[in-house]
Structure 1
C-alpha cells in the first residue's frame, strides 16, 4: 500500500512540476491577456481537482499502510481543497475587481492572494518530494 501511495505522490509531484514549469508560463507567453485569463479560469479548477483526487488517493493508501506519510498527504490534500474551493474564487473576484478599478489596493489584494497560492503550491511540492525521497530511503534500508 505504501508503494502505491508513493507512486501516486510521484505522479502528483510530476504533474505539479510540469504545470508550474511548462503549462503556466506558456499560457502567459503565448496568449493575449484576455485569452490567458479565460484559459486560466478554465484550467486551474481542473488542476486543483486533479490534485485533490491524487492526494486523496495517496492519503487513503498511506493510511491503510499505517504510514506517517498520511499526515503530510492530508496536509497536501487540504491545500488543494482550500485552493480550489476558497482561494481560486477569492483570486477570481480580486482579479475582476482589479481589472474593473485599476487601483493599487485591488492590485495588491490580488497579488497577495496569488502569492499565497504560490506558497501553498511550493509547500505541497516540497512535502511531496519529502514523501517520495523518504519512502524510497526507507524502502532501500529494509531487509
Structure 2
C-alpha cells in the first residue's frame, strides 16, 4: 500500500481528508459570508455605512478563496487526483478574477453607472458560485 506524505504526519490523516477539509472550508466561508455576514451588515449598518465595511471585506474574501483554491489544486495534483486539481485551479482562477474586478465594480457604484455595476456584481456572484461548485465537486 502506498502512503502519501500527509499520512506520515498522522496515520489517520490521508490526502483525501486534506482535500475534503480544504473544499469544506471554502464552502463554509462562502455560506457564512453570503448567508450571515453580508445580510447582517446591510441590515444593521444604515445610511450606506455597510459599503465601506464590505469594500474592505470582499478583497480578503476572494483572496482567501483563491489561496484555498491553490491549496486544493496543489494538494490534489500531489496526490494524482487530476479532476480535483482541475477543480482547484478553476476555484483559483475564479477567485483571482473576482478579486481583480472589485475596483471596476466599486468605480461603477461610485459613479452611479447602474448597468455596469449590475453586470460586474452579477459576474462576481457567478464567480463565487463557480468557486462553490468546484469545491462541492471536490467533496464528491
2:102 paired residue number: 88
The runs of at least 4 aligned residues of structure 1 exceeding 3 Å deviation read none
Q: Give yes or no for contact 2:19–2:138 (8 Å, CA) kept in 1.
A: no
2:90 paired residue number: 75
Q: Give yes or no for contact 1:48–1:80 (8 Å, CA) kept in 2.
A: yes
Cα shift at 1:3: 2.4
1:8 paired residue number: 22
> 1:121 and 1:61, CA in 2 relative to 1: closer, same or farther beyond 3 A?
same
TM-score (norm 1): 0.83
- 1:63, 1:92 → 2: CA distance? 36
Query: Which structure: greater helix fraction?
Result: 1
Q: 5+ residue gaps in structure 2?
A: 1-14
- How many pairs were matched up? 125
TM-score (norm 2): 0.84
| Per-residue CA distance 1:24-77 (angstroms, 9 max, x = gap) | 111111112431111011111111121112111111100101112000110111
2:52 paired residue number: 38
Q: 5+ residue gaps in structure 1?
A: 99-105, 135-143
Q: Give yes or no for contact 1:48–1:83 (8 Å, CA) kept in 2.
A: yes
